Amino acid sequence: MLCEISAWCHYFMKIIMPFSKATEASAITRVFDMAGGEQKKSGGGGKKKEVKKETGLGLSFTKDENFGEWYSEVVVSSEMIEYYDISGCYILRPWAMSIWEIMQTFFDAEIKKMKVKNCYFPLFVSPGVLLKEKDHIEGFAPEVAWVTKSGDSDLEVPIAIRPTSETVMYPYYSKWIRGHRDLPLRLNQWCNVVRWEFSNPTPFIRSREFLWQEGHTAFATKEEADTEVLQILELYRRIYEEFLAIPVAKGRKSELEKFAGGLYTTSIEAFIPNTGRGIQGATSHCLGQNFAKMFEINYENEKGEKAMVWQNSWGYSTRTIGVMVMVHGDDKGLVLPPKVAALQVIVIPITYKDADTQGIFDACTATVATLSEAGIRAEADLRENYSPGWKYSNWEMKGVPLRIEIGPQDLKNNQVRVARRDNGEKTDISRVFLVEQVKGMLDKIQQNLFDAAKQKRDACIEVVKTWDEFVKALGQKKLILAPWCDEKEVEKDVKARTKGEMGAAKSLCTPFEQPELAEGTKCFASGKPAKKWTYWGRSY
Report, in Å, the least distance between residue 134 CB and ligand 87F: 12
Q: Helices 94-113 and 319-328, interaxial angle, to 10°?
A: 120
Contact 474, 505 (CB under 8 A): yes
Distance of CA 344 to the CA centre of its chain: 21
Strands (E), 244-318: 249-252, 264-272, 277-288, 298-300, 306-308, 310-317
Closer Cβ to ligand 87F, 314 or 392, answer by number: 314
Contact 285, 312 (CB under 8 A): yes
| CA-derived radius of gyration, the chain | 26
Contact 235, 114 (CB under 8 A): no
Site for ligand 87F in 214-243 (CB under 6 A): 214
* By the rule CB under 6 A, 164 interacts with ligand 87F: yes
Pick the piece of the chain touching ligand 87F (CB under 6 A) from 3-11, 100-108, 202-210, 311-319: 311-319
Q: Which of 75, 76, 131, 144 binds ligand 87F (CB under 6 A)?
A: 144
Question: What is the distance between the alpha carbons of residues 122 and 169, in angstroms, rounded to a whole number?
Answer: 9
* By the rule CB under 6 A, 169 interacts with ligand 87F: no
Contact pattern for ligand 87F over residues 112 through 141, marking x by CB under 6 A: ------------------------xx--x-
Contact pattern for ligand 87F over residues 242 through 281, marking x by CB under 6 A: -----------------x----------------------
Report, in Å, the least distance between residue 285 CB and ligand 87F: 6
Question: What is the distance between the alpha carbons of residues 505 and 136, in angstroms, rounded to a whole number?
Answer: 23
Closer Cβ to ligand 87F, 88 or 163, answer by number: 163
Closer Cβ to ligand 87F, 166 or 405, answer by number: 166
Closer Cβ to ligand 87F, 252 or 285, answer by number: 285
Site for ligand 87F in 36-65 (CB under 6 A): none
* By the rule CB under 6 A, 294 interacts with ligand 87F: no
**Residue 176 is which amino acid?**
W
* By the rule CB under 6 A, 315 interacts with ligand 87F: yes
* By the rule CB under 6 A, 88 interacts with ligand 87F: no
Task: Give me the residues paired with residue 217 across strands.
Answer: 186, 312
* By the rule CB under 6 A, 195 interacts with ligand 87F: yes
Q: Which residues contact 44 (CB under 8 A, 6 or more apart)?
A: 25, 26, 29
* By the rule CB under 6 A, 158 interacts with ligand 87F: no
Q: Which residues contact 417 (CB under 8 A, 6 or more apart)?
A: 404, 405, 406, 407, 410, 426, 427, 428, 429
Summarize as ranges the residues that interact with ligand 87F (CB under 6 A): 136-137, 140, 143-144, 163-164, 166, 195, 214, 259, 283, 285, 313-315
